[in-house]
Homo-oligomer: A and B are copies of this chain.
Amino acid sequence: MDEAVQQFVERMGLVCEKEGMARSAGRIFGLLLVGGRPFSLDELAEKLQASKAGISTNCRMLEQFGMIERVSSLGDRRDFYRVQDDPWEHMMRVAQQRWRDLVKVLGEAQATLPPQMAEGKRTLGTALQFHQLLIRDVDRLLEHWHELQHAGDPGTPAENAA
């Protein structure tokens, strides 16, 4: 495997591990990112030197997160995986959902806290405000992102001459 690819795959493994997911999942995602085509499970297992079992599990997890998708090829029983159209949007949606969960926790705590803990309630209120703003901001960001992508859409391939 290419030297640059191998290094990138390894670094993506570390980055994704820091984000909370498994290192192996990060490697898979990295390889699919630069691969530019669908990969079968066996191919992933071979190139990443991992067991097919682990690859299968991690691929399904990445699929759950909406970062990769499973595609099938006619006349081929194997499963192929490739990166989603827009994996980053799905990633942001997952984060957004986590923030929604946090808002739920904060809100319930604020409601059930005894009245004498007024200062704590105030702090929770600030936390709530921030995260509600944050959740709305994700919507705004993704809208903006979609606009940018549509602007460069190949609907009219004026300068797409490859």
Contact = CB atoms under 8 A, between A and B. Distances in A.
Interface of A: 2, 4-5, 7-8, 11-12, 15, 18-20, 33-37, 83, 88, 92, 98, 101-102, 105, 108-109, 112-114, 117-124, 126-127, 129-131, 133-134, 137, 141, 144-145, 148-149, 162
A66 to B, nearest CB: 15
Nearest to A31: B120
A97 to B, nearest CB: 11
A106 B124 CA distance: 37
B34 A105 contact: no
A33 B117 contact: no
A121 B144 CA distance: 23
Question: What number of copies of this chain does the assembly contain?
Answer: 2
Chain B CB within 10 A, most for which of A4, A12, A122: A4
A36 B114 contact: no
Nearest to A15: B102
Contacts of A37: 119
